[in-house]
């Protein structure tokens, strides 16, 4: 049975301050070398005609797989393919000195060039994780129906992972977030098993600030250990038959 304790942590926006004179950084191999310079976007940056997919709500989470493409390795917790990681590019800024002359100063920024191909995937470092030495990422893709696999880590322990997967039509460009949380207890049904069991983990799909879908892990039923899609209205107590795969 899953552990009872559950800590919620939501990524907060981090101001990005990059040191001048840095070398161009390409791929995740260079991210570790520049962590002192905060090589993260800090916030999701929408791009016209694209879909951003992110996960939040636990100590750490990562988009492991998108359709048939591996994104973040569950072993290393880093992007599988360095070519998918957005590159860093240098920009020149002219600054006036006290003598009135101008001096070119190098600054670094994320290369957010729009995606060209419908199957293209870009991985963007978002912020530092609540787990030491890990990074939160989000992905940029074109609008399409996609299968998303996410690993959630409810505790500060890489050995305890909740695996979630769903198929969704990301038809409209914009930002989508999969937010994990522990379902709050309602009125007791009188079932001894339900009373003794911990509150289940739920995952909500947000499009912008609106909840589009909700999935909760089932406890004490024939679907125990599975995430089952539930109705968006509290009165609809019976879960639908639409399910997503989950491994325990």
Give pTM, 2 decimals.
0.70
In this predicted structure, the answer to whether residue 237 has a pLDDT above a threshold of 80 is no
Contact between residue 163 and residue 149 where contact means Cβ atoms under 8 Å apart: yes
Categorize the per-residue pLDDT at 89 as very low, low, confident or very high, splitting at 50, 70 and 90: confident
Contact between residue 212 and residue 242 where contact means Cβ atoms under 8 Å apart: no
pLDDT tens digits, 102-128: 444 446 688 889 999 999 999 999 999
Cα distances (angstroms) measured from residue 203 to each of 98, 152, 246: 55, 10, 12
Q: How far apart are the first and last CA of the chain?
A: 9
Which residue do the tokens 């509150």 mark? 199
CA atoms within 13 A on the CB side of 56: 18
Pairing of strands 144-153, 135-141: unpaired
DSSP tag of 54: E
For the chain, domain boundaries? 28-244
Burial of 132 (C-beta count, 10 Å sphere; 0-12/13-18/19+)? exposed
Interval 185-209 mean pLDDT: 66
Q: Which two tokens stand for residue 236?
A: 């609809």
When computed from its CA atoms, the radius of gyration of the chain, rounded to whole angstroms, is 21
Instruction: Find residue 227's DSSP bridge partners.
Output: 217, 244
Q: Give the Cα separation of 245 and 227 in Å (integer).
A: 7
């Amino acid at each position: 049975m899953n552990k009872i304790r559950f800590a919620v942590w939501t990524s907060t926006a981090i101001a990005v301050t990059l040191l001048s004179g840095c070398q161009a950084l390409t791929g995740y191999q260079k991210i570790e070398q520049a962590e002192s310079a905060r090589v993260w976007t800090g916030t999701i940056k929408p791009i016209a005609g694209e879909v951003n997919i992110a996960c939040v709500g636990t100590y750490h989470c990562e988009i492991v797989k998108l359709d048939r493409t591996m994104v973040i390795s569950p072993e290393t917790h880093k992007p599988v393919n360095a070519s998918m990681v957005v590159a860093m590019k240098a920009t020149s800024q002219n600054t006036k000195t006290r003598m009135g002359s101008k001096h070119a100063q190098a600054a670094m920024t994320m290369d957010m060039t729009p995606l060209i191909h419908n199957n293209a995937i870009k991985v963007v470092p978002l912020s530092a994780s609540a787990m030491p030495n890990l990074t939160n990422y989000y992905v940029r893709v074109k609008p399409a129906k996609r299968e998303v696999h996410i690993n959630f880590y409810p505790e500060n322990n890489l050995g305890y992972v909740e695996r979630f997967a769903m198929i969704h039509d990301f038809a409209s460009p914009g930002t989508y977030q999969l937010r994990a949380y522990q379902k709050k207890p309602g009125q007791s049904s009188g079932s001894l098993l339900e009373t003794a069991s911990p509150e289940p983990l739920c995952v909500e799909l947000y499009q912008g600030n609106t909840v589009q879908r909700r999935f909760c892990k089932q406890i004490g039923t024939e679907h125990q250990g599975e995430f089952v899609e539930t109705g968006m209205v509290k009165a609809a107590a019976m879960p639908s038959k639409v399910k997503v795969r989950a491994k325990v």
